[in-house]
Amino acid sequence: MKFAKRTDWPLSSNRITVAMEDLRRDGAAVLDLTESNPTRCGFAFPNEMILKSLGNEDNLRYEPLPQGSVRAREAVGGYYMAKGFDVSVENIILTSSTSEAYSYLFRLLVNAGERVLFPRPSYPLFQFLGDLNDVHLDFYTLTYTDRWGMDFDQIRRNIQTDTRALVLVNPNNPTGSFVAKKEKEWLNALCRERNLSIICDEVFGDFPLDPTAQGVSLVNNGDVLTFVLGGLSKTLGLPQMKLSWIILSGPAALVKTARERLEIIADTYLSVSAPVQNSLERWLPLKDQIQGGMRARLKRNLQFLKEKARGGPCRLFEPEGGWYAVLKIPPTLSEEEWVLKFLRKDRVFVHPGYFFDFDDEAFIVVSLLPPEEVFEAGISRVLKRM
Ligand SMILES: Cc1ncc(COP(=O)(O)O)c(C=O)c1O
């Protein structure tokens, strides 16, 4: 029996996973500073309001529409209107997740073996999304000087004749860096010149952390065919509801063709459930309430980290937005050895930098979402160990 080469992934557990499994089996209480599932972080969700709309009788009817129901897309349009963007309903396509949105876009834009440029360090799922869609991954590096910025020369050098798109994560996971205005303008000029589309993942866009950051959105980017991604997993902290969206913009003729083709891709799967679509107009207005608790948590944990890390053995690269923080740690051990030590000696779980493909060692990444008492105890132990 032969399986497709694209699924030839290493299937054995790594040392960190094995150590975690051993601790769980022994019943050890581990402080998990990788936890970024908001439904496991003790937030007070408006449960009744969320669940009530699922009892709607409209959920008993099936009206398949490839782009998603008009009312659900109007709700997404309203969400952007509140952010100051006038997004037309016809340029919104609903998907069941951001990962699915990436897959739709790779199927739309890239022939087998052609290339897409991704940021590094970044979201660990990109390699799998690339493999599953026969996309060759190339990278551009984000480097930290006074902030995490792009190396324009490197981006230019890494574009090949068969590069089809450039991916931005805005703000990026895990560096927390937004796309700066100057970067957007430069990228627009480059992508226009080289005929590339832009895929801009803005799932963390509602979570700025640094009030002085100069980030810009790529919604309604007029110059280049652009696809902005957003969704409920981060905007409402409801990943289990499985609803995301793609916002199209760019030159009108290109947008029209892209929309017509995406419609056929989406029509092939029709993956967004009716109950979730029908609930959207009731769920999105809960945004401020839900995000309020999350933002307060992120702010407090980041403040704690800043104060604790000051003058210590590791350096915090301050995030401009998002749910994560990056710490540069002493290179006296490898990242893996550090993470195993934190786990076995301190019962604290953090991500090693290599999980996000940092160019060099040694980094760790922590989620800022865990409850304050877990975060503070975990960070204190980790810093003491170094
Ligand atoms: C940058 C980024 N994009 C997308 C996602 C996944 O979103 P979804 O749950 O909608 O697939 C994540 C999840 O952590 C992420 O970090």
Of all protein residues, the one whose alpha carbon is nearest to atom 4 of ligand 1 is: 98
Assess whether pLDDT exceeds 90 at residue 192: yes
pLDDT at 91: 98
pLDDT in tens, 132-184: 999 999 999 999 998 999 999 999 999 999 999 999 999 999 999 999 999 99
Lowest mean pLDDT across 211-220, 233-242, 264-273: 211-220
Q: Nearest 5°: CA angle at 7, between 4 and 11?
A: 135
Specify burial of residue 5 (Cβ count, 10 A radius: 0-12, 13-18, 19+).
exposed
Residues of the chain with pLDDT > 90: what percent?
A: 96
Cα(114) to centroid(ligand 1), Å: 23
Which tens digits make up the pLDDT trace of 101-127?
999 999 999 999 999 999 999 999 999
Listed range (10-19, 236-245, 280-289) with the worst mean pLDDT: 10-19
Distance in Å, CA 115 to ligand 1 centroid: 21
Residue whose Cα lies nearest atom 7 of ligand 1: it is: 98
**pLDDT digit string (tens) for 277-309?**
999 999 999 999 999 999 999 999 999 999 999
**Burial category of 145 from C-beta neighbours within 10 Å (exposed 0-12, middle 13-18, buried 19 and up):** exposed
Query: Mind listing the pLDDT tens digit for each residue in 330-339?
Result: 999 999 999 9
Which residues' Cβ are closer than 6 Å to ligand 1? Answer: 97-99, 123, 169, 173, 201, 203, 231, 233, 239, 244
What is the model's pLDDT at position 237? Answer: 98
Atom of ligand 1 nearest to the CA of 100: 11
Rounded to 10 degrees, the C-alpha dihedral 162/266/276/234 comes to 0
Cα 231 to ligand 1 centre (Å)? 8
Question: Candidates 34, 102, 233: which one to mutate for ligand 1, based on the most atoms within 8 Å of Cβ?
Answer: 233
Task: Write the pLDDT tens digit of every residue in 333-375.
Answer: 999 999 999 999 999 999 999 999 998 999 999 999 999 999 9
Which CA distances in Å does 139 have to 126, 131, 151, 163, 359?
11, 15, 11, 11, 11
Residue 214 reports pLDDT greater than 90: no
Share of the chain above pLDDT 70, in %: 100
Atom of ligand 1 nearest to the CA of 231: 10
pLDDT digits (tens, 9 = 90+) for 21-57: 999 999 999 999 999 999 999 999 999 999 999 999 9
| Centre of ligand 1 from the C-alpha of residue 35, in Å | 14
* Residue 223 pLDDT greater than 90, yes or no: no
Q: Would strands 315-317 and 115-120 be described as parallel, antiparallel, or unpaired?
A: unpaired
Please tell me the distance from the alpha carbon of residue 31 to that of residue 174, in angstroms, as a whole number.
20
Question: Nearest-CA neighbor of 170 among 159, 160, 181?
Answer: 181
For the chain, which residues make up each domain, given as ranges?
5-44+288-385, 58-286
CATH of the domain spanning 58-286: 3.40.640.10
C-alpha–C-alpha distance, residues 362 and 341, integer Å: 14
Ligand 1 center–CA 98 separation, angstroms: 6
- pLDDT for res 66: 98
- CATH number attached to the domain at 5-44+288-385: 3.90.1150.10
Find the distance separating the first CA and the last CA of the chain, reported in whole Å: 49
Using CA positions, which residue lies closest to atom 6 of ligand 1?
Answer: 98
